[in-house]
Each structure stands twice: as C-alpha cells, then as structure tokens.
Amino acid sequence: MSHCSGYSDPSSFAEDGPEVLDEEGTQEDLEYKLKGLIDLTLDKSAKTRQAALEGIKNALASKMLYEFILERRMTLTDSVERCLKKGKSDEQRAAAVLASVLCVQLGPGIESEEILKTLGPILKKIMCDGTASVQARQTCATCFGVCSFIATDDITELYSTLDCLENIFTKSYLKDKDSNGICSTPSTVLHISSLLSWTLLLTICPISEVKKRLEMHFHKLPSLLSCDDVNMRIAAGESLALLFELAREMETDFFYEDIESLTQMLRALATDGNKHRAKVDKRKQRSVFRDVLRAVEERDFPTETVKFGPERMYIDTWVKKHTYDTFKEILGSGMQYHLQSNEFLRNVFELGPPVMLDAAMLKTMKISRFERHLYNSAAFKARTKARSKCRDKRADVGEVF
C-alpha cells in the first residue's frame, strides 16, 4: 500500500525533486515509482497524465537511467505520442519536454533516431499549427530543435528542419524599412523559440550550408533588434553574436557591409535608458548587449565558469553559451548532474569521460537539507547583524550633525 501511495499522486515526484532520489530512494524504489508513472500516462484525467509526464521528466533530468529507458523506449515513445496527439496545451508541453529529455538520456544513436522519427513529425505539426496554443507551439519548437540536434542522422532532414524553423521566425522580420520598429504579437514567443532552435542547429551544419544561411539572414536579422519585446531583442542579439563567431571561424577577415549601422544599434541597446521600459528589462538588455557589442567589434567573449561537483567548465564562445543555455532550459536544476554523468553532454562540451568519484569524495560534496538550513540561517543572521551595525553608525553620524 505504501508503494502504491508513492506513485498514485504523480505530482509528489515533481515536488520531491532530485534530493529525494539521492538521499531517500534506492534504484529499485525509483524504478518502481517510474513504472507507476508510465502507467499513469494512460489515465483518463488530463491533469494526471500531465503530472505523470512531468514526474518522469523530473526523474530523467536528475538521474541517469539509460538501461531503464532502453528497455521501455517504445512504451515511453507511445505514451508521449498519445499525449502530443490527444492532449491540450499543458499536456502537449509536458510531453514535448519529456521527448527531448529522453533523447538527452539516450544520446545520439539508433534509439534517439527512432524517437525523432516517430515524434518529430508530430512536434513539427503542432509547431506549425495556427490553431494550437502558442505556448504548446513554442515548447515544441524548442524540443524539436533539441531532439534534432541530438538525433538527426540525415543531413537533408536537418536542412528541412532549418527551413521549417525559418518559416516561423522570419514572420517577425521587419517588412517595411521605413517602419519605426516591430510590434510584438502573441506569436512572438514562438518566433523567439524558433530562432533559438535554428541558431542551435546551425552550429552543427557543414560550412557550405552555414555560408548559405548566413547570406540569407545576416542582413535581415538585425531588424529584430527593433522589436518591442525585450526577449526577442536579446534572442536576436545573441544569435547575431553567434553568427559573427561562425562567420569569422570560416573567414578570419570576414567583413560585414552594414557594420556601422549594426554597431550603432547595438550600442543604443547597450546603453538604453528608455523610460517606457521596465527597469529589470533594461538592466538585462544592457548587460547582454554590452557583450554582443564586444563580440561584434572586438571579437571578444566574457568567459563564464560553470562548476559541477569537483569539476568546472569554461564557457568561452557564443556557440558553447547557446548550447549550454538550451540544455539548461530543458534539464533545469539537473543540468549539473548531467554534465557530471551524461557522456553525450560531456562530449558536446569536450569534458572527456565522466570522473569517477569514490564514496569519501561524494560524502564531502554532499550537504544535507538540515546542514543547508543551518548554513542559510547563519548567513541570514550575519547579514542582519551587519545591517544593524551599519544603521547604528548612520544614527551616530546623524546625532553628531
């Protein structure tokens, strides 16, 4: 009975998160719970199916379960296919994300190719379906891009996917050169996800195809910088920085004809003080476009460090940053675990084979919830004490004057 209650409420899995998997559950318990969640993807209730899909996704994002998935790949694929075809917006989104996490777990190979062969056309259909919810189409665009990045074996299929994504995001291009800018629409979020997926797939294309796509879009993409949606401006800016990086890798003396007008636009966005825009949006935009401007003008990239376990990874190119951001969006907090354990992701980021950790090392790395609570409490007390002292000093100064 206790086992049944454990998976009869699929939402409990999502709430528990990876910590419960590590600290409380054995591999057998986890697999038993997952089998129950897979059964629940057939439930009559849409909410139960959605929660089951999310529960499976959370498990796969926080633990490597290659053998378990391999044995049940067809069952899982059928469940995802059914939910994509018959479900509504939220269920379709949960199913699409699970499809991409399955591919991340399996890595490139026949199994992932089969998943893409089955689910790719459905993801594509939803993505291009004007009657489907924009949120579902947006998630399908991201997940279709990730699945294609991992599993596309046929180069013509890759080009077909790029064409499909282009047909979506180019609808945001500025139509009239004399126009003051692009007004966002409910479909803008879909266009953003399509652009970002397109940019990701461009990084694995042959040089000849990259050149061809650059010629088609290099002079049109900057028009997206005038969109009134901050996320579209940022997506366009980061995509441009990545395209410049690719172009300069192919030709060291690459010359962009409209460089002056482009840098002028980038500089304006990097110092934007428009009062009509939210402070948070302006801060975020200025930070991104300072880096984009440096990339375009100085060929520079501000290196970021990502720590996971005893290792660290340096993100020192726009290609690496974009790839990391995409997979982090899919895996969430499980990204660090996958960087440590997932051979496919370690190959993508050139980290070598997984580092074997002994029990003593794992124990020193682990921190229990109680210890973390004590640490946070102590830090909070220290900050409060420091603020009180600072206030006391200000009060004394006030009295002197």
* Architecture of the domain made up of 28-171+187-204: Alpha Horseshoe (1.25)
How much is the pLDDT for 279?
78
Q: What is the pLDDT of residues 185-222, one digit of tens each?
A: 999 999 999 999 999 999 999 999 999 999 999 999 99
Tokens of 260: 């002056």
Q: How remote is the C-alpha of 124 from its chain's centroid? A: 18
Q: Which residues contact 320 (CB under 8 A, 6 or more apart)?
A: 349
Q: Which residues pair with 375 in a beta bridge?
A: none
**CB within 8 A of 340, min separation 6: which ones?**
308, 309, 311, 354, 355
Pair 151, 119: CB distance under 8 Å: no
CB 349 within 8 A of CB 313: yes
CA atoms of 338 and 153, how far apart (whole Å): 23
CB 170 within 8 A of CB 209: no
pLDDT score for 167: 97
pLDDT of 18: 40
pLDDT at 272: 81
Closest CA to 4 of 26, 33, 34: 33
Rounded to whole angstroms, the Cα distance separating 152 from 149 reads 6
Comparing 167 with 372, which gets the higher pLDDT?
167
Looking at residue 22, what is its pLDDT?
A: 46
pLDDT confidence tier of residue 14, bands split at 50, 70 and 90? very low
332: exposed, middle or buried (Cβ count in 10 Å: 0-12, 13-18, 19+): middle
pLDDT in tens, 230-243: 999 999 999 999 99
Q: Higher-confidence residue: 136 or 7?
A: 136
Tell me the whole-structure pTM to 2 decimals: 0.83
DSSP string, 305-346: EEEETTEEEEE-SHHHHHHHHHHHHHHGGGHHHHHHH-HHHH
Is residue 157 classed as helix, strand or coil in its secondary structure? helix
- Higher-scoring residue by pLDDT: 151, 309: 151
Domain ranges of the chain: 28-171+187-204, 206-321
Closest residue by Cα to residue 192 from 246, 147, 145: 145
Q: Tell me, what DSSP letter sits at residue 304?
A: E
How far apart, in whole angstroms, are the C-alpha atoms of residue 106 and residue 110? 9
Q: What mean pLDDT is predicted for residues 371-393? A: 62
> In this predicted model, what pLDDT tens digit does every residue of 363-377 receive, in sequence order?
554 555 555 556 566
Instruction: State residue 3's pLDDT score.
Output: 39
> At residue 40, what is the residue type?
L
Cα separation of 38 and 80, whole Å?
10
Single out the residue of 267, 257, 191, 259 nearest to residue 224, CA to CA.
191
Instruction: With a cut of 80, say whether residue 72 has pLDDT above it.
Output: yes
Report whether pLDDT(324) > 80. yes
pLDDT for position 1 = 34
Query: Which of the four pLDDT bands, split at 50, 70 and 90, describes residue 182?
Result: confident
Whether the Cβ atoms of residue 284 and residue 237 lie closer than 8 Å to each other: no
List pLDDT tens digits, range 16-60.
444 434 444 588 889 999 999 999 999 999 999 999 999 999 999
How many angstroms separate the CA atoms of 368 and 375, rounded?
11
